[in-house]
Amino acid sequence: ECHIKGVTNKYPFKVEAEQVENCECDFNPDFLRRMYAKLDWKAFKDTAECLKLDGLPESVSEDMLKSDEGFLRTFHHILLEVEVEEGALICPETGRRFPIHKGIPNLLLNEDEC
């Protein structure tokens, strides 16, 4: 979410990646089921598409969360194993770029933006 003074369309940031890394982590379907309830699915899917990551459906059913291992593995990979190392987060209203360096976004505002 963007906190620039006067901005009303603050979310979601667009992600522009220059360097993406994959790191393996243990597959835990129960964790994914709990995380799904906390996600804005459309924002998550749009971000995955910005990163050229395919395979996520437009919507998710209870059956998919319960027993579709293919879906759960794709969800797991995009949520937990893909890391943007270099790039930027971009405010949807102003186009202000917040750099990502070594996997850490710098969201500090300039004094005139507060």
Of 5-9, 18-22, 62-66, 84-88, the least confident: 5-9
CB 30 within 8 A of CB 105: no
pLDDT (mean) for 81-102: 95
**pLDDT at residue 2 in the model:** 67
64: exposed, middle or buried (Cβ count in 10 Å: 0-12, 13-18, 19+): middle
pLDDT (mean) for 86-95: 93
Q: How much helix, strand and coil, in percent to the nearest 5, is found in the chain?
A: 35, 20, 45
Nearest to 75 by CA among 102, 100, 47: 47
pLDDT (mean) for 23-34: 97
Range 57-62, long-range pairs (CB < 8 A, 24+ positions): 60/36
Confidence class for position 1, pLDDT limits 50, 70, 90: low
